[in-house]
Amino acid sequence: MGQPSHPPGHPPEPAPADRLESWKEIAVYLKKGVRTVQRWEREEGLPVHRHLHDKLGTVYAYKAQLDAWWQDGHSRLEQQEQTPATLWPRLRWAVLAAVAVVALVFGAWWGVRRMGQPDLPFQERDWVLVGNFENRTGEPIFDGVLDYALERELSNSRFVNVVPRPRVEDSLRLMQKPLEASVDIAVGREVCLRDGGIRALLMGRVEKMDSTYLLSANLVEPASGRSVASFSEEAAGQKEVVAALRLLSNRVRETLGEKLALIQRNEQKLEKVSTPSLRALQLFSQGSVLKEQGQFKPAEEFLRQAIVEDPDFASAHLWLAFAIGNQGRPESEYLPHFERALALSDRVTEHEQYFIRGSYYFTQGQYEQAAAAYEALLRIYPDHYFGVRDLVWVYWRLGRLPERSQLILRQADLRPTDFVANVMAARHAYYRHHNWPVVQTYLDRARRALTPELRTGEYFANFAAEIEMLPVHRQWFEGNLDEARRLVAVVAKSLDSPSDTERGAVALHLGIFELTLGRIKAAEEAFQNIPEEGWRGYWLATAAFARGDERQAAKLTNSYPSYLTVALAARAGHVVSAEQMLRKMQPNRDTSLADLILARAEIALARGAVSEANAALQEVIHKEDGRVTDSYILAAVSLASVWNEQGELDRAIRLLEEASARSAFVDFFNGYAWFRMRAQLAQLYRLAGRNDDAQRVEQELRRLLRYADPDHPVLLGLQTAQTGKLAQVKD
């Protein structure tokens, strides 16, 4: 072959005479056989193009591109392509041996349907990372948009999972790279290897020949860096690029093992793309990345421009609504965009449609409708990360806690290097199942993801402290109080941290641990180290409540409205104040319906509306079914008191016995309330003449409170019981 007169990788604009119109012409030009050049196209990325019609077997190529490809490291193939006459005497035994090997492995190859790529054992729902497209056109409109567009096309598949950007950012943090870092081949491979759950890396590039855009992609096995498949499509102009990406996406899906019939059926359902405007998609992709990074104001600007380019861009309206709302702006500014997205949702892809509807209903407080939309989404796309994430919060608001716990585990599995997701999964695996090997898996993931920046970050510090406290709780739960105190002494060393945030998080958890041991004075000393005034007041109020001083508790929480503030104010007789605080409270993602119902129930009790309170307290018990929360315990204590006063002593005992059967779900955050409830049960046992049962519960309490303050109200009640008098525990 002759030497090209242009730099490698930058061929001149091709003339009509430069085009080869068939496999045969390409083979003659390269002086090789047809099968050889077809293999080079499949294995070496030979730049061959297919006509955009149903006869995908017809091809063409440009001589200039072939020359550039040859000079770009492929001239080595000359040494590998000797004639059969030259090679046969030397290779005939090797050929026979190879035939035998092929016969042995063919069955396995066919069984996994590897499309000729046995080095990449891709299974249904495995993960693919789409790296950043290399833009060789010189046109800025393609910067950062083609990889995003390809992700969106691939995400239509029910066979292939596309790694979401937040999951990539988890690994970038561990690599100490900027979150906006470009995912080239080197970065992409490292992200895949660090993550541990990504099966394939897809890299692409776009070039321009005259007015034609050439899009190509390489499927890479992350561990070896080997290219296992190459694809290319062309578009006659910018408006056809999205359609060409769809063809490219379909070829990737088929190569990975998705059946062509499923792809075609999926395409029939998804005839309309989310936006026909490449410019709108570019702006949307930039805005969505900024939104997920918490940069809501700049995200808003990009998303508004995307809507200017395409006013009917449903997902842009949705993301814009989130970007505005997350800045704390009034509903009148973001609600119209939610409503517009909902009105356009019948025009978009299947998964976008369900996600838009779920998001709209969620923001409107229509949680049952939101749950139905998200559940429909996850039935079809079970690994849709944002659907899983939002349904976690919907279930929280609905009180569907067992289902929420399972989703929290799935969320962590979808983001194995996400610090917070894996701490939450460890917490739920522990409190729901006490399956320590599973808990340890998530804790190990979280520890690997914990960087110094996260440890001292305002949002993350509390989760960092919780990593260390779960093993402490395990020892407490198993009755090893001395070992629990030894472990917590190690955690206490973090109080010497120069970071106020880290010290505050550690102080919070240390105080809660002391409260669980019954050491109320030590708990108050720890809580004093919490820097944020409102949060410090909340936990000091909790300590006062544990001591039985509800008036002091209500006074301390005036600056931090919460359901507990309302309940304590009502119990202390400040009913008007409690009602005013409740009216001001705005439900948020951290507030469950059970919390709000409990607050209303305590107000009703304080006003003497016993029937109303009775119904509300029973609703709390129902909402918190399957988990022991503060709301559940406090509702059980109040409801048992109501039933006892109404002469239903046996019913009150059964309620507290059922609550006691959930001891495995008690955590540090409500240990103080748990002791109160168990002391009340012992009291009711004595009223019913069941002294043996009362003594059993009292013995358990003495064991758990052996390090408690001598004047702890539960211990004082136990001392009274020993003298043969009825234990008195303040309510």
CATH number reported for the structural domain that contains residue 134 in this entry = 3.40.50.10610
Residues 44 and 132 in one domain: no
Residues 158 and 53 in one domain: no
Residues 31 and 159 in one domain: no
Task: Please check whether residue 502 lies inside any domain of the structure.
Answer: no
Which of 420, 409, 372, 411 is CA-nearest to residue 388? 411
Q: Is 482 left (phi over 0), alpha (psi -120 to 50) or beta?
A: alpha
Residues 62 and 151 in one domain: no
Whether 550 contacts 637, CB under 8 Å: no
Residues 667 and 562 in one domain: yes
DSSP summary character for residue 145: T
Which of 381, 493, 491 is CA-nearest to residue 157? 381
Q: Which of 223, 239, 271 is the last residue of a domain?
A: 271
**pLDDT on residue 687:** 93
Task: Please check whether residue 508 lies inside any domain of the structure.
Answer: no
Centre a 10 Å sphere on the Cβ of residue 470 and count the other Cβ atoms it contains.
Answer: 22
Q: Which tokens sit at 366?
A: 């229509």
Residues 55 and 189 in one domain: no
Whether 643 contacts 651, CB under 8 Å: yes
Counting Cα atoms < 13 Å in the Cβ hemisphere of 423 gives 21
Q: Which of 80, 111, 135 is the last residue of a domain?
A: 80
Whether 23 contacts 59, CB under 8 Å: yes
Instruction: Quote the number of domains for the chain.
Output: 3
Phi, psi torsion values for 227, nearest 5 degrees: -80, 120
Residues 683 and 572 in one domain: yes
For residue 62, give its domain range.
16-80
User: 3-state class of 212 per DSSP?
Assistant: strand
Which stretches within 663-690 are classed as H helix? 671-687
Chain-centre distance for alpha carbon 497 = 30
Q: Which amino acid is at 516?
A: T
Q: Which tokens sit at 659?
A: 């609550």
Task: Please check whether residue 467 lies inside any domain of the structure.
Answer: no
Tell me which residue has tokens 């080595």: 76
Q: Which tokens sit at 262?
A: 């499923």
Q: Is 76 exposed, middle or buried (0-12, 13-18, 19+ CB in 10 A)?
A: exposed
Task: Please check whether residue 605 lies inside any domain of the structure.
Answer: yes
**pLDDT on residue 439:** 92
Counting Cα atoms < 13 Å in the Cβ hemisphere of 585 gives 27
Q: Is 163 exposed, middle or buried (0-12, 13-18, 19+ CB in 10 A)?
A: buried
Residues 31 and 161 in one domain: no
Q: Which tokens sit at 327?
A: 């800045």
Which of 142, 141, 161 is CA-nearest to residue 151? 161
Cα 568 to Cα 572: distance, rounded to the nearest angstrom: 6
Whether 601 contacts 594, CB under 8 Å: no
Name the packing angle between helices 350-363 and 314-325 (round to 10°).
30
Cα 319 to Cα 288: distance, rounded to the nearest angstrom: 7
Residues in the chain, overall count: 731
Which residues in the chain land under pLDDT 70? Answer: 1-17, 51-58, 73-76, 78-119, 260-274, 557-561, 586-592, 625-627, 663-669, 721-731
Give just the sign of the alpha carbon dihedral 58, 64, 66, 72. negative
Whether 425 contacts 438, CB under 8 Å: no
Q: Give the dihedral of Cα atoms 61, 62, 68, 74; nearest 10 deg.
A: 20
Task: Please check whether residue 585 lies inside any domain of the structure.
Answer: yes
Residues 244 and 182 in one domain: yes
What CATH number does the domain containing 698 carry? 1.25.40.10
What CATH number does the domain containing 37 carry? 1.10.10.10
Which stretches within 221-349 are classed as H helix? 241-256, 260-269, 278-292, 296-309, 314-325, 331-343
Residues 581 and 707 in one domain: yes
Give just the sign of the alpha carbon dihedral 364, 367, 369, 375. positive
Residues 251 and 189 in one domain: yes
Cα 652 to Cα 639: distance, rounded to the nearest angstrom: 7
Task: Please check whether residue 252 lies inside any domain of the structure.
Answer: yes
Please enumerate, as own/partner, the contacts of 578-584 that have beta carbons within 8 Å and a separation of 24 or more.
Answer: 578/602, 578/603, 578/606, 579/603
Beta pairing partners, 20: 61
**pLDDT on residue 106:** 40
Task: Please check whether residue 165 lies inside any domain of the structure.
Answer: yes
Q: What percent of the chain has pLDDT over 70?
A: 83
Q: Which of 271, 286, 303 is the last residue of a domain?
A: 271
Give just the sign of the alpha carbon dihedral 31, 37, 43, 46. positive
Phi, psi torsion values for 92, nearest 5 degrees: -60, -40
C-alpha distances in Å from residue 644, one per residue of 13, 639, 656: 91, 8, 12
C-alpha distances in Å from residue 526, one per residue of 329, 471, 505, 520, 530: 36, 20, 10, 10, 8
Task: Please check whether residue 391 lies inside any domain of the structure.
Answer: no
Counting Cα atoms < 13 Å in the Cβ hemisphere of 186 gives 3
**Buried b / exposed e across 548-570, counting CB within 10 Å, b at 16+?**
bbbebbbbbbeebbbbbbbbbbb
Centre a 10 Å sphere on the Cβ of residue 282 and count the other Cβ atoms it contains.
Answer: 23
Which of 170, 668, 189 is CA-nearest to residue 446? 170
Give just the sign of the alpha carbon dihedral 39, 148, 353, 419. positive
Residues 573 and 686 in one domain: yes
Centre a 10 Å sphere on the Cβ of residue 92 and count the other Cβ atoms it contains.
Answer: 10
C-alpha distances in Å from residue 632, one per residue of 109, 568, 611, 650, 701: 56, 15, 19, 19, 20
Whether 592 contacts 574, CB under 8 Å: no
